[in-house]
């Protein structure tokens, strides 16, 4: 019947090899922060939440997961820095694997996107800078004034990321996605609006990216490039994090990723959507990065199903990330 559409006709439903993994379709689910992990420990109900979103041969990326006690900026977000947290993730990861899905843990540190209330002993959040985020007039959210951490403290934070990656693998995750997007700690260093340092971690592009590159290198060294992806958003202006030359920033980071043979994926967020004739249009500004990156390229940012199929068919992206569930059939 006419209702039966051949699978070949749907680009999102074609298989793709991602590093050592075989995906049966190209829809990546990257769910939003859920804030229900009491005392930063993932709860049993998360097994249901994630397994409902897991599909045979699909890639699922966990919500932002803190790498240390200073990494938190929202209430009740999960972590992966204690043995208790590692053990709590295990049944959740098992539930996803039973559905035949690939599961990556998103390793995150919010930096200054936090308040003293979420920090150990009520201390100031740490960042590349001591500049506070402009209070949000709409939500009324006020983030605390951060403490610019010292040069000699940086290796400790890099080590937190390394240890968290090891813990994620111990929990059974297939790999990790480094959160280098949306104004969180790595971006606070990378972008010139939020990095006013005068040491070797500030100033020119190479210096600003040094912290992120050290985090990537440490994690790759710890668990292997074939278990590591990253999320970047050079064009996105979020939490007072923007860069005067986002194209150069994105290209430099892609070059750094390419130094690691087999680095699994680069997950990049589109420039802000433009409204044309009352319809939001995706600007498709990621093509140079897609062309330059050696591994699997994932595009995110307001795609619907039709647009997702189009960019895969056009070779603009290998995979497309969606924040909300949608049904592949029908």
DSSP 46-81: HHHHHHHH--TT-EEEEEEEESSTT---STT--B-S
> Which one, of 51, 53, 159, 147, lies nearest residue 107 by Cα?
159
* Pairing outcome for strands 126-127 and 21-23: unpaired
Residues 6 or more apart from 160 whose CB is under 8 A from it? 67, 68, 71, 81, 109
Q: For 149-163, 213-227, 248-262, 312-326, which range has the lowest pLDDT when averaged over its residues?
A: 312-326
Q: For this structure, is 184 an active site residue?
A: yes
- Would you place residue 304 in the very low, low, confident or very high pLDDT band (cuts 50, 70, 90)? confident
Residues 6 or more apart from 301 whose CB is under 8 A from it? 269, 270, 271, 273, 282
Alpha-carbon gap, residue 66 to 48, rounded angstroms: 21
**pLDDT for 328:** 53
Look up the CATH architecture of domain 7-322: Alpha-Beta Barrel (3.20)
Alpha-carbon gap, residue 146 to 129, rounded angstroms: 7
**pLDDT for 9:** 74
12, 26 contact by CB (below 8 A): yes
Alpha-carbon gap, residue 185 to 156, rounded angstroms: 14
265-281: per-residue pLDDT in tens?
A: 999 999 866 666 766 77
**pLDDT for 121:** 95
308, 12 contact by CB (below 8 A): yes
Q: What is the CA radius of gyration of the chain?
A: 19
The arithmetic mean of pLDDT across residues 66-86, rounded, is: 94
128, 188 contact by CB (below 8 A): yes
What's phi and psi for 243, nearest 5 deg?
A: -130, 145
Q: How many helices (H) and strands (E) does the chain have?
A: 8, 14
Alpha-carbon gap, residue 311 to 309, rounded angstroms: 6
The residue with greater pLDDT, 275 or 60, is 60
Residues 6 or more apart from 278 whose CB is under 8 A from it? none
**pLDDT for 110:** 97
- Would you place residue 68 in the very low, low, confident or very high pLDDT band (cuts 50, 70, 90)? very high
Query: Which of these is catalytic: 50, 143, 184, 303?
Result: 184
- Would you place residue 330 in the very low, low, confident or very high pLDDT band (cuts 50, 70, 90)? very low
Alpha-carbon gap, residue 107 to 279, rounded angstroms: 34
229-269: per-residue pLDDT in tens?
A: 999 999 999 999 999 999 999 999 999 999 999 999 999 99
pTM: predicted TM-score of the whole model, two decimal places: 0.94
The arithmetic mean of pLDDT across residues 190-201, rounded, is: 99
314, 33 contact by CB (below 8 A): no
Is it the case that residue 149 has pLDDT exceeding 90?
yes
**pLDDT for 1:** 47
105-127: per-residue pLDDT in tens?
A: 999 999 999 999 999 999 999 99
The arithmetic mean of pLDDT across residues 35-64, rounded, is: 90
The residue with greater pLDDT, 31 or 320, is 320
The arithmetic mean of pLDDT across residues 8-36, rounded, is: 88
- Would you place residue 327 in the very low, low, confident or very high pLDDT band (cuts 50, 70, 90)? low
Is it the case that residue 186 has pLDDT exceeding 80?
yes
**pLDDT for 33:** 62
Alpha-carbon gap, residue 280 to 274, rounded angstroms: 5
157-184: per-residue pLDDT in tens?
A: 999 999 999 999 999 999 999 999 999 9
249, 209 contact by CB (below 8 A): yes
* Pairing outcome for strands 319-322 and 296-300: parallel
Alpha-carbon gap, residue 54 to 159, rounded angstroms: 31
Half-sphere exposure of 187 (CA within 13 A, CB side): 28
**pLDDT for 302:** 82
């Amino acid at each position: 019947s006419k209702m039966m559409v051949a699978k070949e006709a749907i680009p999102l439903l074609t298989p793709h090899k991602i590093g050592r993994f075989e995906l049966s379709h190209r829809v990546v689910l990257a769910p939003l922060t859920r804030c229900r992990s009491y005392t930063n420990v993932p709860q049993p109900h998360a097994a249901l939440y994630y397994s409902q979103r897991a599909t045979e041969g699909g890639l699922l990326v966990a919500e932002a997961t803190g790498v240390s006690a200073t990494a938190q900026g929202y209430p009740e977000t999960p972590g992966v820095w204690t043995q208790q947290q590692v053990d709590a993730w295990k049944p959740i990861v098992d539930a996803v694997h039973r559905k035949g899905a690939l599961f990556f843990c998103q390793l995150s540190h919010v930096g200054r996107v936090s308040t003293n209330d979420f920090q150990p002993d009520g201390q100031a959040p740490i960042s590349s800078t001591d500049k506070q985020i402009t209070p949000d007039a709409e939500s009324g959210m006020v983030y605390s004034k951060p403490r610019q951490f010292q040069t000699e403290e940086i290796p400790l934070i890099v080590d937190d990321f390394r240890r968290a990656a090891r813990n994620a693998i111990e929990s059974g995750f297939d790999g990790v996605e480094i959160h280098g997007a949306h104004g969180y700690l790595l971006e606070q260093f990378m972008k010139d609006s939020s990095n006013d340092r005068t040491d070797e971690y500030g100033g020119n592009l190479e210096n600003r990216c040094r912290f992120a590159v050290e985090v990537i290198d440490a994690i790759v060294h710890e668990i292997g490039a074939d278990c590591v992806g990253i999320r970047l958003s050079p064009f996105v202006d979020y939490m007072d994090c923007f860069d005067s030359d986002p194209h150069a920033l994105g290209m430099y980071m892609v070059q750094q990723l390419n130094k690691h043979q087999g680095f699994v994926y680069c997950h990049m967020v589109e420039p802000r959507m433009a409204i044309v004739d009352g319809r939001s249009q995706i600007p498709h500004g990621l093509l140079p990065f897609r062309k330059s990156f050696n591994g699997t390229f994932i595009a995110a940012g307001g795609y619907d199903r039709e647009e997702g199929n189009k960019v895969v068919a056009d070779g603009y992206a290998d995979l497309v990330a969606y924040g909300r569930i949608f049904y592949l059939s029908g």
